[in-house]
């Protein structure tokens, strides 16, 4: 196990893997510290280290709760039109109550659970 300032390098006969800072031998062995990047050979390249750091950032953004506006805009990206076929309103065009519903639950909706059967 090799520790750098921001990543943990684990090597084995099969290759190597980079893990998040603070990962321990036990965490890695149990699967509680999944790899960020893995590869064959003896050691990762600078590109592999950059990819691991980018993966940490991606996971942090994924875990971050969206703002109400971000959630609404993502929702519009997934379902750009109303049931009537008209384009959905821009955030600034939503009324106070509509914006409140997004502030109350700032997550994109799952439409497959709301669809009615014919």
pLDDT at position 19: 93
For residues 88 and 74, the answer to whether their CB atoms sit within 8 Å is no
Flag whether pLDDT at 82 surpasses 50: yes
pLDDT band at 1 (very low <50, low <70, confident <90, very high): low
Please, which pLDDT band fits residue 2 given cuts at 50, 70 and 90? low
- In this structure, the answer to whether residues 58 and 75 fall within a common structural domain is no
Same domain for 73 and 53 = no
At residue 40, the pLDDT reads: 92
Q: Would you state the structure tokens that stand for residue 80, as one six-digit string?
A: 């750009």
Assign 18 to helix, strand or coil. Answer: strand
How high is the pLDDT of residue 34?
87
37/11 same-domain check: yes
Q: Are residues 41 and 55 in the same domain?
A: yes
User: Residue 93 sits in which domain range?
Assistant: 68-107
Helices 96-104 & 68-78 angle (0-180, nearest 10) = 100
Plot region of 74 (φ>0 → left; ψ -120 to 50 → alpha; else → beta): alpha
Do both 43 and 88 map to the same domain? no
6 and 59 belong to one structural domain:
yes
- Do 59 and 72 lie in a common domain? no
The count of C-alpha atoms lying within 13 angstroms of the C-alpha of 105, restricted to the half-sphere facing its C-beta, is: 6
Q: How many domains does the chain have?
A: 2
CB neighbour burial string for 79-115, b if at least 16 within 10 angstroms, e if fewer: eeeeeeeeebeeeeebeeeeeeebeeebebeeeeeee
């Amino acid at each position: 196990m090799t520790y750098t300032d921001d990543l943990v390098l684990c090597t084995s006969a099969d290759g190597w893997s980079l893990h998040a800072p603070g990962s321990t031998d036990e965490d890695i062995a149990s699967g509680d510290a999944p790899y960020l990047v893995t590869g064959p050979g003896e050691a990762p390249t600078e590109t592999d280290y950059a990819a691991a750091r980018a993966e940490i950032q991606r996971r942090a953004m994924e875990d971050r709760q969206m703002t109400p506006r971000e959630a609404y805009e993502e929702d519009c990206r997934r379902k750009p039109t109303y049931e009537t076929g008209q384009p959905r309103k821009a955030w600034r065009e939503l009324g106070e109550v509509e914006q409140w519903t997004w502030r109350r639950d700032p997550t994109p909706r799952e439409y497959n659970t709301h669809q009615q059967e014919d």
